[in-house]
Amino acid sequence: MTSFHDCAWCGRPDPTGGYVCPKCYRPVGHALQEMADLAGEPDVNITRQARYGDRDGPRSTEPPIPVDLKASNAAWAAAHVVVTWMDHIATARAVPLPRRRPRVVGPLCIAGWTALPGRCGHPSCDEIRDRRAEHPVAAAARFVVEHLHWLRRQPDATDAAEELLGAAHAVKRLVENPADRWYAGTCLTPIDADPEQRCTTELYAWPGVTWVRCPGCQTTHQTGPRVRWLLDEARDVRGTATQLATAAARLGRVCTPGQLRALAQRGRLRQATVELDGAEGPQELAVDVWVRPLYRFGDVLTVLDELAEQRRRDEEDRARRAAAKASRERQAALVDHEPDQGVRSDASGTSAPTSSVPGPAAGG
10 Å CB burial of residue 314 (0-12, 13-18, 19+) is: exposed
Last residue of a domain, one of 234, 268, 303: 234
Residue 333 C-alpha from the chain's centroid = 46
Residue 248: which H helix or E strand, with range? helix 241-250
- CA dist 330 and 186 (Å) reads 62
Average pLDDT estimate for 340-347: 50
Residue 67: predicted pLDDT: 58
**Would you say residue 356 lies in a domain?**
no
| Domain shared by 290 and 207, yes or no | no
| Domain shared by 74 and 161, yes or no | yes
- The helix, strand and coil proportions of the chain, stated in percent and rounded to the nearest 5, come to 45, 10, 45
Contact in structure between 285 and 274 (CB atoms under 8 Å): yes
| Domain shared by 47 and 142, yes or no | yes
Last residue of a domain, one of 208, 234, 260: 234
pLDDT at 134 over 90: no
DSSP 133: P
pLDDT in tens, 186-225: 888 888 767 778 888 888 887 667 788 888 888 888 888 8
Number of structural domains (the chain) is: 3
pLDDT at 1 over 50: no
| Domain shared by 277 and 218, yes or no | no
Cα Rg, the chain, nearest whole Å:
34
| Domain shared by 146 and 202, yes or no | no
| Domain shared by 185 and 280, yes or no | no
- How many CB atoms are closer than 10 A to CB 201? 15
Judged by phi (left if over 0) then psi (alpha if -120 to 50, else beta), residue 21 lies in beta
- CA dist 234 and 350 (Å) reads 75
Give the residue numbers spanning the domain of 303.
Answer: 238-332
pLDDT in tens, 52-101: 443 433 344 445 555 566 677 778 888 899 999 999 999 999 999 887 66
- pTM above 0.75? no
Average pLDDT estimate for 107-120: 57
| Domain shared by 21 and 163, yes or no | yes
- How many CB atoms are closer than 10 A to CB 301? 18
Contacts of 296 (CB under 8 A, 6+ apart): 235, 236, 237, 238, 272
| Domain shared by 158 and 72, yes or no | yes
| Domain shared by 142 and 208, yes or no | no
Residue 50: predicted pLDDT: 47
| Domain shared by 1 and 32, yes or no | yes
pLDDT in tens, 219-254: 888 888 888 888 888 888 888 888 888 888 767 777
**Would you say residue 208 lies in a domain?**
yes
| Residue 127: pLDDT band with limits 50, 70, 90 | low
- CA dist 52 and 75 (Å) reads 18
pLDDT at 30 over 80: yes
- CA dist 224 and 102 (Å) reads 44
**Would you say residue 118 lies in a domain?**
no
Residue 151: predicted pLDDT: 94
**Would you say residue 114 lies in a domain?**
no
Residue 54: predicted pLDDT: 39
| Domain shared by 212 and 173, yes or no | no
Average pLDDT estimate for 260-264: 91
| Domain shared by 247 and 153, yes or no | no
**Would you say residue 31 lies in a domain?**
yes
Q: What angle do CA 75, 153, 74 make, to 5 degrees?
A: 10
**Would you say residue 353 lies in a domain?**
no
**Would you say residue 249 lies in a domain?**
yes
